[in-house]
Structure 1
């Protein structure tokens, strides 16, 4: 393949063309009521944009290496997710008071139990035992548990403000703590202790290089970075475009309104889920866990400061405290996650336990 052909490849393949077409479609349908046939078309482009996002994230990850590659996808998805949350809160009024809480908690359950459990299951099916670095994964889990506890559990028990809400100073502290811990987590993952977040072999040897192909050129990586941004924008935007149809379907089925948030969270996190499963199939379990726990940390560490800032101009209360059933699920997730991480090895059982917790969360979302 000639250099010229290689430079044109990202744009000639469907993974290059589809994000552009999806963004154009997003512009055409934004703010409009969609008939059923058009919802089907939008859904197809939504699925295609998810697959394109995964492809371009993997190209970037191959160029920059781990753990930077998984960090790119996690942060990119979360920034756009935060923008979507703030936009919906601005439009939603008082009914959107628990939106940030529901979205962040959904992201925590999907990443810490869904992505982690599915990755362990896939890796264990292939190699009988999934091997990862307990030091790096343990640090990530501890960060997620701390920020989730301070941001989602603590507001339920404070007494300064009635209801599961923070007072102004408490919200400011939670926002600063979340942002500071996220910054410290990123610095630890990428610079101070980068080797803790690299894939390892069954004998404990750190894998610092990919052995299956030559890295893409800098031009290809930059092209994929731009196309990744377009794909993620289209994923979130098209998900919002079809959300009214989802809302009406949920209402007709007599389900709680929180189900809408769960469905949208599943769609938004689908690129990371697919990327994590692909990494697990290549025996890069640590990369999968970096995606799962890193996405959870990014979701809390960026969302809480963003909504705290948004309360300056938003009207109505901001509900962050979890209810009793969700509190139980959060505690179980932290305890089970700790027991999974400590040995640095996991079997089908651990993957099944995490997926069971996710299933319990989904059942309670439908039938609280």
Structure 2
């Protein structure tokens, strides 16, 4: 979907189908089982859910075009985070306990974004333009906050003594929630008020220009964005049943659910980031990619933490030694990639290799 031109039919058809599907399964009391009919329902659910997520991101992009950067990217990341929190919380609180799902999803988002998506954007941009520029100061802000939040959320739980790892005690989790929200809040202030010039790069040859958006189109996109987000939240429970059944059927590893959720929520935003890189707007790609990682940790961990505390559920956050090494490698590689303000094909390829290693290790640990 594009934020330019007439509104595509899919941007309102899929949200409408999602709401209709929810009303039908609620009225009939349908409970998912992995039969022939259940398989058809699962396929329909996934298609409608993916289409609705794409619709939500499309309307976020339309709004973003009107309000400009860096506020536009913030709308996109917040919309995706709402979807993410809904899916994680619903699956975690389902019939099958999944205390590690939030950890696996957050880690998957970091790996997908900082290696897969960043690598692909840099690689495509390098092939097309040789080198692409961006604001080093903005990238440094993203990375410094991301490294701190990821370490606190995913590494520190393995080394606390109040409770055995990989979990925080209730007091520790409450403290982590507060400092995480505070740090993310200061980052947003830096991005949107104090130093918003850090996150806007001068347009180069081949970059897209802003398009005019009427007030009617803006209002319609805001309404449809809210409907799309609501529809995804309403269908999250059925999606969790499908994930559990399919995972059990194919004997998937524990991290499979987290990877699947991360791919679902990041796919449309990833398409937007890759499209921006192809138009020689790598700064927007970086804003989308690294902004997603920050929003995932800065908003998802506190939201899930509060939900698990209120509902008295266990929340495992600490990564395994293998995953910790991959996270550290991603940190070091990102510092080198975003340290000069210019990128090339080789940087992108290295990131994609690390992502391939991560995916392989999920299925062959």
Q: TM-score, normalised by structure 1?
A: 0.88
- Measure, in 2, the Cα distance between the counterparts of 1:358 and 1:236: 29
Once the two structures are superposed, the pairs formed by residues 102-113 of structure 1 within 5 Å of their partners are: 102-113=104-115
Structure 1 position 14, deviation (Å): 3.3
User: Are 1:239 and 1:267, in contact at CA under 8 Å, matched by a contact in 2?
Assistant: no
Q: In the TM superposition, what is the alpha-carbon distance from 1:91 to its structure 2 partner?
A: 2.8
Q: CA deviation at 1:231?
A: 2.9
Give 1:5's aligned residue.
Answer: none
Q: Does 1:86 align with 2:82?
A: no
1:160 alignment counterpart: 162
Q: Is the Cα contact below 8 Å between 1:67 and 1:189 reproduced in 2? A: yes
Change in Cα spacing, 1:175 to 1:92, as seen in structure 2 (3 Å) is farther
The aligned counterpart of 1:282 is: 279
Distance in 1 between residues matched to 2:293 and 2:165, nearest whole Å: 25
Work out whether residues 102 and 317 of structure 2, in 8 Å CA contact, stay in contact via their aligned partners in 1. yes
Q: Secondary structure at the match of 1:311?
A: helix
Alignment check: 8 A CA contact 1:156 1:163 kept = yes
1:284-323 alignment, distance < 5 Å: 284-323=281-320
Counterpart Cα distance in 2 of 1:214 and 1:249? 43
Q: Are the equivalent residues in 1 in contact too, given 2:84–2:261 (CA < 8 A)?
A: no
C-alpha contact (below 8 Å) 2:60/2:79 kept by paired residues: no
What is the distance in 1 between the residues matched to 2:271 and 2:237? 21
Please give the per-residue CA displacement for 1:151-194, whole angstroms capped at 9, x wherever unaligned: 11011111111121112332122111110111011111111111
Q: What is the aligned counterpart of 2:52 among 49, 52, 67?
A: 49
5+ residue gaps, structure 2, are 1-5
- Cα distance change of structure 1 residues 92 and 156 upon mapping to structure 2, 3 Å threshold: farther
Taking the aligned partners of 1:69 and 1:172, their CA distance within structure 2 comes to 31
Q: CA deviation at 1:324?
A: 0.3
Question: How far apart, in 2, do the equivalents of 1:23 and 1:257 lie?
Answer: 30
Q: Which residue in 1 is equivalent to 2:67?
A: 64
Tell me whether 322-331 or 96-105 shows the greater mean CA deviation: 96-105
Whole-Å separation in 2 of the counterparts to 1:332 and 1:232: 34
2:181 touches 2:302 (CA, 8 Å); kept in 1? yes
Secondary structure in 1 matching 2:211: coil
* Contact residue 97 and residue 316 of structure 1 kept, 8 A: yes
Aligned partners of 2:151 and 2:183: how far apart in 1? 13
Cα gap change, 1:107 to 1:150, in 2 (>3 Å)? same
1:207-246 pair list within 5 angstroms: 212=209, 214-235=211-232, 238=235, 241-246=238-243
Tell me which residue corresponds to 2:42: 39
Choose which of 315, 322, 326 in structure 2 pairs with 1:329. Answer: 326
Q: How do 1:174-185 and structure 2 match up within 5 A?
A: 174-185=176-187
Who is 1:115 aligned against?
A: 117
Measured on the aligned residues, the alpha-carbon RMSD in Å equals: 2.5
In structure 2, the CA distance between the partners of 1:211 and 1:358, relative to structure 1 (3 Å rule), is: closer
Separation in 2, partners of 1:109, 1:27: 36
Deviation of the 1:65 alpha carbon: 0.7
Cα distance in 1 for partners of 2:221, 2:324 equals 39
The whole-number CA distance in structure 1 between the counterparts of 2:19 and 2:201 is: 35
SS, match of residue 306 in structure 1:
helix
Shift of residue 237, structure 1, vs aligned partner: 5.3
Q: Deviations over 1:226-271 (max 9, x none)?
A: 2223334445655653443443333333321321221121011112
CA-to-aligned-CA distance 1:131-169 (integer Å, 9 cap, x gap): 111110111011111000011101111111112111233
Are residue 13 (structure 1) and residue 12 (structure 2) matched? Answer: no
Deviations 1:39-91 (A, max 9, x none): 22233323432432343222112111111111101111102311332233333
Looking at structure 2, the residues matched to 225 and 68 of structure 1 have their Cα atoms a distance apart, in angstroms, of 15
CA distance in 2, matches of 1:26, 1:106: 28
Report SS of the residue matched to 1:32: coil
